[in-house]
Every structure is written in structure tokens, then in C-alpha cells.
Chains A and B, each alone.
Chain A
């Protein structure tokens, strides 16, 4: 018996989402009195996993493959899970984590539960709390299968250190059927993505036009934050739809969400509701966002935001 976690990485280094999944997996393994087995691909910097209590790491060499390959990664994960008789498997809620989770569940005859926001409320049968209705509600979901794959919501458990030493093993990299082939990947390397960000700075129609987005970008730069936007902004083409957060866009579960000139339509608020602390800056005191926010400034973004950026910059130095 074991708990198996999928460690996502970037250039050989585990990502924060991967470490959070390891932390969470450690707690599940302790509750079951079993070992924690991690699966990673091409990890060079795997000593970090020792800090989070991984007992065994299958570090799989992809033989030169540099991109996430859903077919081979999911098969490798399923093979390890079968080998170590995993009862629980955990992936993150990143784009890749949520992609691989349901596939691994079918391959291993497991139930799959996404958007999990905490440790199980019950083991045997396993029951977890998860968000639903795009963060407008939660539900308690119980598995009817012996094995379960969980997708953990970002920042919902956090990092918990439990030092140990992981035994590092190599694992087989399954063959490809070549039915799906990655041709190219476009990724901004100088920007933090919405999924990985601790802080997200978001702009709405109140910014009046795309030419004013330096206000958002400058503030995000100082905070090391990701930039996001509301639905109308992406529909008007001011910003790429990859920045659109909300019910039909991306969900946000950051520690701090700063909304500038965003009125706060119910669909937008649902999408960002999982963020821990919300700040709104808006000239309209009646904007619905003030009801959802923790901190607010009623004021002109064009005056308030540059001052905030300058003061934060001075503080960081």
C-alpha cells in the first residue's frame, strides 16, 4: 500500500504545486500508515523532495523528451501506482495535473475527485470536501471505489515540511503510440502564470483601454505577480483570453488578488473566490466587488495605482 503523488517540474526543478502535492500526500500516507511514493520526470533538483517527506521517488528519464506528454506520463504514473499498490494518488490542479488525473483514474480503475480543498473528512470510504458551482459552493464527495485519484486545489493545503530521505529509483518510460505529438510550445518565460502565482493583479473595463495596461503590469512586476483581466476586457480584445479569469475563464486561487477597475460581475467573483485575500480599487463605491473584497479603496485607478506601485517598489528595496 502507498500514496502516489505526481511531482510537476520545470527544467528539472519541482514546481510549488508539486511540493504542495507532496506535503498533502505525506499527510495522507501518515493517516494510512503507508509510504509516500513520488513520480517525477527528468528531475535534477530532487533533494527538495526530502524536505517534504517523500519515501521513494521514481525519477523517470524521458529519453530526451522535453515536453509534457499526456499519454506516456499518465501510463508511467499508472504503472508505478499498480507496482506499489497505491490506494490514493494525488495530482495538482494545474492544467497538466487536471489533464492527467482523469486518465490515470480510468487506467487504474480509481474514482477521480477534482478541486479538493483539504484533508479527507473521512477515510474508508474516502470522503473529501471540494469546490463546485465555480466556487459558489462546496460539496462532500465520497468514493465508491477502493482507489481514488485526487486533484488538489492550488494553495489550499500549503507547504508542510517533514524532513526525511527519499530513495531514488528510475522508472520505465512507456512507449508512445504517436497518436498525439507536441509540435511546439509557446510560453512566456519572463512572466509568472496565473496558476503558479501567489499574487494576481487583474484589470477591468475601468482601465478604459489596452494602452493603460502598464498600470497593471508595473504593479504586477513589483509584486512578482501574474496579470489577469475580466471577461469584457478579453472579449473586446484588449488582452488575450488566456488572461481572462472567471466562470468561463481561468479559476484563481492565489493568496492575494488585486482587482483594479473590475466591477465584480457574479461570474468574475465566482472564478476568483478561492483567493485568500481580495483587494479592490474602483471609483464606483457601488461596484459589487466591494461586497466580495477584504480591503477596498474607492478611488481613481489612474491616481491610486501608480502611488501603490511606487510605494511597494520603495519598500522592496
Chain B
């Protein structure tokens, strides 16, 4: 089985977000970059398939050379090889277009994207990629098993979950649940040493245009201070929620 895991390079979840160049670009100074958490849940499941059924795991990122450290980390976690499409993408459509080109060169049985990246939160790459390749997509994927050609997956829906049967090739949007936080693999020294020897290939991008572009960023307005209510004065809180905030 051939698995492709699509990896985004995103600011650490604890990052303070700032912008530069008159609020037209994200300030990367002093920001620690990580594997997008949803992608890491997907990668961990892929490595599980690699160990159980001998799947080959390829990771791919669409980004510039600054994304290579997280690809090396994916290799240290257990991926067999890495690809980097050498392009700083403008939007999710551009990423999906580049990934579709990769998937047409080599055939993958299972393609894993994260549910969404935690920077732009577009949540579009998986669905677009699958539609470009004319294969099915399962969003918000919280469980996946493969027995010969039979694939069973679960999708988280509002207020519950849906169980589906599917066929390969398939694209899934990974999220927590596919594996748990405790299942995440922290690379050991052997993994890190091996990762240095594993192939990381830089692929030139296909000619393609984005579907949208970000014009400017903005931070939310500063919030006023909290209005504290005495713990004995519950009626006071209810009154504020009812008559001032008007939310009851």
C-alpha cells in the first residue's frame, strides 16, 4: 500500500500572531513552526499502517526551503521519503492543484490531509484534491481501518459520528480521534539519525494560478476588561447576561 501524507508547516499553537509589511504578511520572526497538528494525527496513523501491513509512507509539503525541518521531523517520526514542491502557495486551491499533480505522477492508495491547517483554517485542500482526482473524500476522519480492499471510516458530524464504507483510492481529512494525543510519536535519536539518510526530493511546481489572494490581515479589536461579579451575587450575573449582554 502506498500512502501520501500532506503536511503543512504552521506556527506553534502557543504562538502570538503578528503581521508586517503594513499588515500584508505574517511575521515569522520568533515563531516556532510545527507539523500542522491535524496532519500529525494523519501521519501517525500512516506510520501505524506502515508497521502493521508494510505500507510505504511518503510525506509531501508545498512550500519553500524553510519547510524542510518539519519534513525531516516527519521522516524521523517514521515516513519513508519526503517531497517538497518548491512553491510558496497563495491559497488552498494552489496547494490542491500542486498535490494533484504529484498524485498523477505516482499512484497512491490512500492520501491523508489534515482536516484543516491551524494557520489559514481553510479546510479545503482534502476535498479539492479528491475532486480534482475524481476519487472520494472523507472529511473530519476520526477512525480508519483497512482489511484487504475494504475500508471502514468514521466521520465526525455535528452532534455525533457517521460510519462509512469506502474503496481505495481515497482521500481523508485527519483529525484527533484517528489517533489519540498519547499515540503521537516523539522521534528518538535513532529516528533522527535515520531521517538524515532518507530521501527528501525537491520537485518544481506545475504552472497553475491560485483562486484567491489575501489582501490584508487584521487583529481583533482589543477587548475591554472583564466585569467581575461577586460569587455571592448570582442574581447580579443573571441580570447582566439578560439586560446588558442580552444573551438569555
Per-residue contact bits, chain B 50-77, to A (CB 8 Å; 1 contact, 0 not)? 0000000000000000000000000000
A253: interface (CB < 8 Å): no
* Complex contact A277–B218 (CB within 8 A): no
Residue contact A113 to B212, C-beta cutoff 8 Å: yes
CB closest residue in chain B, given A265: B14
B interface, size bucket: 35 or more
Query: Which A residue's beta carbon lies closest to that of B120?
Result: A132
Write out the residue numbers on chain A whose beta carbons fall within 8 Å of the beta carbon of B181. Answer: 235
Q: Is the CB of A187 within 8 A of B157?
A: yes
Tell me the smallest distance from the CB of B135 to a CB of chain A, in Å: 7
With A and B bound together, what is the CA distance between A112 and B213 in angstroms? 11
> Which A residues lie within 8 Å of B216 (CB)?
139-140
- A159 contacts the other chain (CB 8 A): no
Once A106-B131, A112-B211 are accepted as A-B contacts, the answer to whether A95 and B226 lie under 8 Å apart by CB is no
Nearest CB on B from A211, distance (A): 22
Say yes or no: A133 contacts B158, CB within 8 Å: no
| B224-235 contact mask (Cβ, 8 Å, vs A): 1 or 0 | 101111110011
The SS class assigned to the B binding surface is mixed
Instruction: Number of A interface residues at 8 Å Cβ cutoff, please give it.
Output: 91
User: Which B residues from 15 to 35 make CB contacts under 8 A with A?
Assistant: 17, 19
> Residues of B contacting A80 with CB < 8 Å?
none
Q: Is the CB of B217 within 8 A of A139?
A: yes
Question: Across the interface, which residues of A come within 8 angstroms of B166, CB to CB?
Answer: 179-181
Q: Does A34 interact with chain B (Cβ within 8 Å)?
A: no
Q: Which of A110, A195, A255, A293 contacts B226 (CB 8 A)?
A: A293
Tell me the A residues contacting B by CB distance below 8 Å. 67-68, 70-71, 94-96, 98-99, 101-103, 105-107, 110-115, 127, 129, 131-145, 179-188, 191-196, 199, 223, 235, 241-242, 244, 247-249, 255-256, 266-267, 270, 273, 276-277, 279-280, 290-300, 303-304, 307-308, 311-312, 315
- State the B residues within 8 Å of A (CB): 11, 13-14, 17, 19, 37-38, 91-93, 96, 118-128, 130-132, 135-140, 142, 152, 155-167, 175-177, 180-182, 209-220, 223-224, 226-231, 234-235, 237-238, 240-241, 245, 247-248
